[in-house]
Amino acid sequence: MVIFKSNQSDEKTAIGDSMVTESTLKVLGMTCDGCSSRIEKVLSKMEGIQEVKASWENDTVYVKFEESKVSVNVIEEKLKGIGFTTEGIL
């Protein structure tokens, strides 16, 4: 399932030539610290991801990434691939 949302809520900052975007995604399926740690570990290994903060209590995953290397869609596909449900950008 792909939910389209406008990027207007994204915070964009130019660092050098690459655009860095910060987004908070709604992610369902995390039930403990192990889940959020796993998400942080998996996503932080993806190219272009600079920062990840997952909160199982809030059902959110904050990501800071380079737009030229990765996108919210790719991040969501990765999350789905490891068993979580994504519900778009908050």
Residues in touch with Cu ion (CB under 5 A)? 31-32, 34-35
Q: Residue 42 CB, nearest distance to Cu ion (Å)?
A: 13
Q: Residue 89 CB, nearest distance to Cu ion (Å)?
A: 23
Q: Which lies closer to Cu ion via its Cβ, residue 64 or residue 80?
A: 80
**Which residue(s) pair with 28 in the sheet?**
85
> Rounded to whole angstroms, what are the CA distances from 70 to 23, 28, 33?
12, 21, 25
Q: Cα(67)–Cα(34) distance, rounded to whole angstroms? A: 28
Q: Which lies closer to Cu ion via its Cβ, residue 13 or residue 31?
A: 31
| Cβ–Cβ < 8 Å for 25, 88 | yes
Q: Residue 35 CB, nearest distance to Cu ion (Å)?
A: 3
